[in-house]
């Protein structure tokens, strides 16, 4: 997984960002105006490891912000900002305090937010909520490869839920996504 | 015909409307923040609404290949409720968003002192955030309300070329034109402005700095009246280029002044959702 230090070194030449990180460290509330404007202020070019400049800059801004500002950045974020917060969560020293953000994202009807909630930080999500989230992915058509540690965490109870869902789909003459069928197979063998 | 509806309240419309709009050639919309019929009683219901027009609505629109941007403001009617006014302090968070292309709808409803204050404060926010302003003209006492809006705009120091005065009609268009602001017209089934009346105004004033919108919302309105106006223009002898100018180039030029309008590559948005059977946000 990419670390904050790697992001920092990739963006070391971005002077505007370097200045802004200092500003936020001095005055945490300034992050409220800078975080939404990240794409316009620092750029949107792709970096290594599946990150873009604006996402990485947002992660770095959050890394110098207190936890309450991280929660506010998500609360008032548009979709791109919320996705950036969710992506940054596993890199931030905030313990479990970001779990309610995952729960919020999983309540939405936006496939991008639902899949972003199931990254590495979802290790902190309880097993019941995690199973429901995986089932919701199948229901919404979110590819299961987006789910972090899917095969480690999938258990017999998730298997039962998927089987019941497959029966409903079969009764309606509708297909199950192939990745969900593959997961069911794996759980049968276990 | 390619259509940019510069003022439509999609949160009040169905997905069927999105489908019909896409079929009619609507490629982009701007959704201004306004009232919802039922008055709000707290800043929280404003922020949930703002979240919806910068979050859920763009997602819904993208499923039909339509680019969706928003304008954010405390509307003049609810500016009169002291329970709602604290939302003014939350506006800077929203005015910093990539998808927010103007401050609006601001202006007058009943021309009260509270409305004066909210109007001036939000024009100042437009200047601070380098955003254009969308100004609603009142439905009652419209001529005086329009003139007073122009006075407040002049006093604020904002460039009139970065302001649209909306819901104009035969009586108020000349004052807007003289003031150098953009002239917005809301084409409605039987009230504000009709396609044929609009054609007459265009014949008199020309297509420069004119924005034509459906302002479709929860009332009796029709998101396809932009298309009907384009058709009426062609029938009256306007060229296809004139139609493209008022229905596409003008709104693009007006909102591009924000530096945030993104209509560059719509195919990219569509691809985000390709392969997902999520047209209903679930099955």
CB A35 within 8 Å of CB A81: yes
Looking at the complex, report in whole angstroms how far the Cα of residue B274 sits from the nearest Cα belonging to chain A.
Answer: 10
Tell me the average pLDDT of chain B: 93
Q: In terms of domains, do A112 and A136 share one? A: yes
Residue B178 within any structural domain of the chain? yes
Residues 6+ apart with CB under 8 A from B86: B43
Q: Is the pLDDT of residue B269 over 70?
A: no
CB A51 within 8 Å of CB A95: no
Terminal-to-terminal C-alpha distance of chain B: 33
Please report which helix (H) or strand (E) contains residue B211, including its range.
strand B210-213
Q: Is the pLDDT of residue B120 over 70?
A: yes
Q: Is the pLDDT of residue B142 over 50?
A: yes
Looking at the complex, report in whole angstroms how far the Cα of residue B261 sits from the nearest Cα belonging to chain A.
Answer: 12
Q: Is the pLDDT of residue A1 over 80?
A: no
Residue B98: which of A40, A109, A142 has the nearest Cβ?
A40
In the numeric block, which tokens belong to residue A115?
Answer: 């899949």
Residues 6+ apart with CB under 8 A from B219: B37
- The CATH number covering residue B258 comes to 3.20.20.140
Q: In terms of domains, do A183 and A155 share one? A: yes
Q: In terms of domains, do A146 and A75 share one? A: no
Interval B90-117 mean pLDDT: 97
Cα A168 to Cα A37, A88, A173: the distances in Å are 45, 37, 9
CB B153 within 8 Å of CB B135: yes
Residues 6+ apart with CB under 8 A from A36: A77, A78, A81, B93, B96, B97, B98
Q: In terms of domains, do A59 and A9 share one? A: yes
Q: In terms of domains, do A123 and A185 share one? A: yes
Interval B64-78 mean pLDDT: 97
Q: Is A112 on the interface with B (CB under 8 A)?
A: yes
Number of domains in chain B: 1
In the numeric block, which tokens belong to residue B117?
Answer: 């204050």
Residue B141 within any structural domain of the chain? yes
CB atoms within 10 A of CB A97: 14
Q: Is A57 on the interface with B (CB under 8 A)?
A: no
The pLDDT tens digits of the residues spanning B152-175 come to 999 999 999 999 999 999 999 999
Residues of B in contact with A108 (CB under 8 A): 56
Residues of A in contact with B130 (CB under 8 A): none
Q: So what's the pLDDT on residue A190?
A: 62
Cα separation, B20 vs B26, in Å, equals 9
Containing structural domain, residue A146: 98-190
Residue A111: which of B47, B55, B276 has the nearest Cβ?
B276
Tell me the average pLDDT of chain A: 96
Residue carrying the six token digits 């972003």: A116
Going by pLDDT thresholds of 50, 70 and 90, the confidence category of residue B281 is very low
Residue B93 within any structural domain of the chain? yes
Residue B254 within any structural domain of the chain? yes
Containing structural domain, residue B151: 3-185+247-266
Residue B226 within any structural domain of the chain? no
Q: Is the pLDDT of residue B265 over 90?
A: no
Q: In terms of domains, do A21 and A103 share one? A: no
Q: So what's the pLDDT on residue A188?
A: 85
Interval A161-167 mean pLDDT: 96
Number of domains in chain A: 2
Residues of A in contact with B31 (CB under 8 A): none
Interval A90-101 mean pLDDT: 96
Q: In terms of domains, do A114 and A90 share one? A: no
Residues of A in contact with B277 (CB under 8 A): 141
Interval A132-148 mean pLDDT: 96
The pLDDT tens digits of the residues spanning A26-83 come to 999 999 999 999 999 999 999 999 999 999 999 999 999 999 999 999 999 999 999 9
Q: In terms of domains, do A62 and A14 share one? A: yes
Cβ-Cβ contacts under 8 Å between A and B: the total is: 61
Residue B216 within any structural domain of the chain? no
CB-based contact B55 A40, cutoff 8 Å? no
Mutate to test the interface with A, among B43, B47, B93, B276 (most CBs of A within 10 A): B93
- End of a domain among A94, A110, A144? A94
CB A91 within 8 Å of CB A99: no
Name residues 97-116 of chain B within 8 A of A (Cβ): 97-99
Q: So what's the pLDDT on residue B264?
A: 79
């Amino acid at each position: 997984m990419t670390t904050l230090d790697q992001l920092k070194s990739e963006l070391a030449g971005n002077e505007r960002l370097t200045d802004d990180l200092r500003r936020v460290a001095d005055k945490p509330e300034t992050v409220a105006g800078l975080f939404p404007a990240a794409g316009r202020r620092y750029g949107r070019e792709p970096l290594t490891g599946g990150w873009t400049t604006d996402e990485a800059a947002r992660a770095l801004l959050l890394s110098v912000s207190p936890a309450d500002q991280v929660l506010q950045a998500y609360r008032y974020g548009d979709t791109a900002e919320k996705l950036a917060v969710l992506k940054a969560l596993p890199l931030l020293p905030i313990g479990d305090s970001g779990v309610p953000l995952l729960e919020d994202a999983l309540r939405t009807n936006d496939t991008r937010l639902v899949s972003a909630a199931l990254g590495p930080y979802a290790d902190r999500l309880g097993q019941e909520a995690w199973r429901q989230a995986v089932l919701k992915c199948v229901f919404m058509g979110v590819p299961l490869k987006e789910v972090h540690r899917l095969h480690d965490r999938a258990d017999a109870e998730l298997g039962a839920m998927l089987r019941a869902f497959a029966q409903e789909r079969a009764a309606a003459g509708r297909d199950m996504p192939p990745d969900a069928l593959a997961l069911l197979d794996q759980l049968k063998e276990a | 015909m390619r259509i940019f509806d510069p003022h439509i309240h999609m949160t009040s419309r169905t997905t069927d409307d999105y489908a019909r709009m896409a079929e009619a050639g609507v490629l982009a919309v701007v959704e201004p923040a306004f009232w919802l019929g039922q008055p709000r009683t707290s800043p929280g219901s404003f922020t949930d609404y703002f979240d919806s027009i910068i979050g859920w609505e763009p997602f819904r629109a993208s499923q039909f290949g339509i680019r969706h941007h928003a304008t954010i403001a405390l509307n003049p009617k609810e500016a009169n409720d002291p329970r709602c006014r604290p939302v003014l302090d939350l506006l800077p968070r929203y005015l910093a968003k990539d998808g927010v292309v103007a401050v609006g709808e601001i202006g007058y409803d009943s021309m009260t002192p509270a409305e004066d204050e909210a109007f001036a404060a939000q024009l100042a926010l437009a200047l601070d955030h380098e955003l254009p302003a969308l100004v609603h003209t009142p439905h009652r006492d419209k001529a005086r309300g329009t003139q007073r809006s122009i006075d407040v705009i002049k006093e604020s120091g904002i460039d009139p070329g970065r302001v649209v005065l909306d819901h104009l009609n035969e009586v108020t268009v000349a004052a807007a034109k003289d003031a150098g602001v953009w002239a917005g017209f809301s084409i409605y089934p039987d009230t504000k402005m009709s396609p044929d009346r609009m054609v007459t105004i265009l014949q008199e004033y020309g297509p420069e700095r004119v924005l034509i919108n459906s302002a479709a919302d929860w009332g009796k309105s029709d998101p396809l009246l932009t298309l009907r106006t384009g058709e009426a223009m062609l029938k009256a002898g306007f060229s296809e280029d004139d139609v493209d100018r008022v229905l596409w180039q003008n709104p693009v030029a007006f909102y591009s002044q924000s530096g945030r309008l993104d209509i560059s590559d719509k195919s990219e948005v569509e691809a985000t959702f390709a392969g997902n059977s999520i047209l209903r946000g679930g099955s």
